[in-house]
Amino acid sequence: MTSEAQRIEIEAERDVRLAVRTAVDAARSLGFDRTRSLMIGTAVSELARNIHVHACQGYISIETSRRGEAIGLRIVAQDDGPGIEDLDLALQDHYSTRRSLGIGLPGTKRLMDEFDISSEPGKGTCISVSKWK
Amino acid sequence: MEKKDTADLENRIPIHEVWDKVLMLPIYGIVDSKKGQDIMEAILQKVVATKSSVIILDILGVATVDSAVANHLIKITKATRLMGADCIISGISPAIAQTIVSLGIELGEVKTNATLKDALAAAFQLANLKIVAIGEG
């Protein structure tokens, strides 16, 4: 069960900033502590930056999610970019196609409690992550 | 034109000369690729202009340290080292420290301190300076 999704279109670097701020605010108002809110914000930063750098266009949606008694924050990053050829490789530490640190995706997985990725070359990528309180 | 660009950069990224050969730059807000590049440029120019041997980057005011921001910080540290200046990163809050560890960023040989106070003490030591209390107490 989910409610009140906020959707941020990612087209420019300022949209990355907006997505991070929105996620941190949403986490804080749900009652996540400072550290875990920062972890969520950092994960959103990685996801939004990936959209900006690799796909140019896409969106981040942020919503409260509930599972039984548990409450958490669910973030979906969807783009219609080039997609990822080899998901296993992309999820390995220190693998990068752009001379970055290559820890964005595996790091995001470590920052969050749940991580799902689906990608089709030429069609786009969808990543869904959640963190539970 | 080049002179105007330099002055513009100094206005956007003001770097303090806290002591002879010791520089300090507080970084605030979000570090995007443009800002990361500007910081690198401003620091290297200031290191040359002041013949500094130590520079402190205080990141207490940085909103998030994701892998791209960390990459900028690591590159800045490497570049200053190539120019013969040590770089210390201070203002690592407990939340930032835990996030960096979870994310899996390896800072390697980058010198870090929790507080600006600790970083200043380390910087003075690197610059062969000593702070001495005057008189008793």
- Amino acid identity, position B112: T
Higher per-residue pLDDT: A120 or B136: A120
Asked whether the beta carbons of residue A103 and residue B103 sit closer than 8 angstroms, the reply is yes
Residue B69 — very low, low, confident or very high, per pLDDT cuts 50/70/90?
A: very high
The mean pLDDT value for B19-39 works out to 91
CA distance B114 to chain A (A): 16
Return phi, psi of residue A130, to 5°.
Answer: -140, 150
Residue A2 — very low, low, confident or very high, per pLDDT cuts 50/70/90?
A: very low
Burial class from Cβ neighbours inside 10 Å (0-12, 13-18, 19+) for residue A125 reads: buried
Supply the mean pLDDT for chain B: 91
Three state DSSP letters for B47-100: HHHHCCCEEEEEEEEECCCCHHHHHHHHHHHHHHHHCCCEEEEECCCHHHHHHH
Asked whether the beta carbons of residue B102 and residue A107 sit closer than 8 angstroms, the reply is yes
CA distance B68 to chain A (A): 7
Supply the mean pLDDT for chain A: 93
Confidence check: pLDDT of B76 > 90: yes
pLDDT, tens digit, 9 for 90 and up, residues B93-127: 999 999 999 999 988 889 999 999 999 999 999 98
Range 11-30 of B in CB contact (< 8 A) with A: 30
- Amino acid identity, position A53: V
Structure tokens at B137: 């107490």
Asked whether the beta carbons of residue B104 and residue A106 sit closer than 8 angstroms, the reply is yes
Nearest residue to A5 via CA among A78, A74, A108:
A74
Chain B residue with minimum CA distance to A14: B32
Chain A residue with minimum CA distance to B106: A101
Report ipTM for this prediction. 0.88
Q: Tell me if residue A117 falls in helix, strand or coil.
A: strand
Residue B4 — very low, low, confident or very high, per pLDDT cuts 50/70/90?
A: low
Give percent above pLDDT 90 in chain B.
76
Give the pLDDT confidence score for residue B2 in this predicted structure: 58
Give the pLDDT confidence score for residue B63 in this predicted structure: 86
The mean pLDDT value for B14-23 works out to 95
pLDDT, tens digit, 9 for 90 and up, residues A40-90: 999 999 999 999 988 878 999 999 999 999 999 999 999 999 999 999 999
The reported pTM is 0.90
